[in-house]
Amino acid sequence: MTNRSAVFYDAPMETPSIERFEIAVNTPAGRLTTTLDVPTGFVPITSIVPVTRRLGEEMSKLEELRSRETGHSISCRMGCAACCRMLVPLSPPEAFALRDYIVQLPEDRQTALRQKIADSKATLASHDLLHRLQEVADATSPIPDEELDPINRAYYALRHPCPFLENEICSIYEARPAACRELLVTSPAALCDNFVENPVTPLPVSVRIGTVLGLLWGSVTDSSPRLIPLPLALGWAEQHHDEARRTWSASNLIDLLLDKMWRFLSHEFQARGQSPQT
Ligand code: SF4
């Protein structure tokens, strides 16, 4: 189903060497061939977050192409942010990457974002939701869907905008989590006013990148996979900052990542009644 090979190439003296992985993978929407550039040697988990998200986006493009071939195009547009009122889950690697992104922003911007997150938490607390989200972030074993579902519904019922949403535009667009990148719809945008009541048609997702990164983190730290609600992600990452400093062989991380991804793809092929081509 997949091929992977690695090529080293020289980088300028002042930059770390890069290992280029050439990937070929069959997805339910078609075959994806691409390259991943990852720093060589031992790297923190955040090093592979951008390339993993890009893989997810390339898989989304295949889904979009397939969808267009059947007469359905994506209706999501800039400034249309109905989905930014849903609860977004982050894997620990993405929470660390979000923190890294925020702390490199100018001081006044960081302060503004931290204030927005604090305001968001205060609103959630006033609706008796903050402690439920905190329980999700702190859980040491996977939470079953039947327990998560009422939390997601209660959150969505508030139509509480994401703390990073400004004038209906994502203010951290290049650093937004994988879950935000994956939610695209082919039904009319007006239906997104109510995801629960209206027949919204999401674009199929071959691989949920946040879940895969969460599984990878669980593997390398020998911990239970967890997903952290977005309003708590910065605080969670700061609380676990020591873990973010750990490093692993980049090559091993990529091997593990692809293994998790392939497992996810196998389930997805099965769920769609397709068989992976060889
Ligand atoms: S991070 Fe950006 S895209 Fe994701 S929910 Fe928040 S505002 Fe929307």
Q: How far apart are the first and last CA of the chain?
A: 5
- pTM, to two decimals: 0.92
Band (pLDDT 50/70/90 cuts) for residue 258 is very high
Ligand 1 pocket test, pick from 84, 116, 158 with the greatest ligand atom count within 8 Å of Cβ, gives: 84
| Residue 259 host element (H or E) | helix 250-271
pLDDT at 259 over 50: yes
Which residue has 């793809």 as its token pair? 265
Mutate to test the pocket of ligand 1, among 85, 87, 168, 180 (most ligand atoms within 8 A of CB): 180
pLDDT band at 138 (very low <50, low <70, confident <90, very high): very high
84 in contact with ligand 1, CB cutoff 6 A: yes
Give the confidence band of 8 by pLDDT, cuts at 50, 70, 90.
Answer: very low
Is residue 94 within 8 Å of 215, Cβ to Cβ?
Answer: no
Q: Is 76's C-beta closer than 6 angstroms to any atom of ligand 1?
A: no
Residue 51 clears pLDDT 90, i.e. is over it: yes
pLDDT of residue 10: 44
> Cα of 276 to ligand 1 centre, how many Å?
33
Q: How far is the CA of 10 from the centre of ligand 1 (A)?
A: 37
Neighbours of 165 (CB within 10 A): 17
Predicted local distance difference test score (pLDDT) of residue 16: 63
Residue 137 CA to ligand 1 center (angstroms) comes to: 18
Among 66, 85, 56, 103, which Cα is nearest to 210's? 56
Q: Does residue 21 carry a pLDDT above 90?
A: no
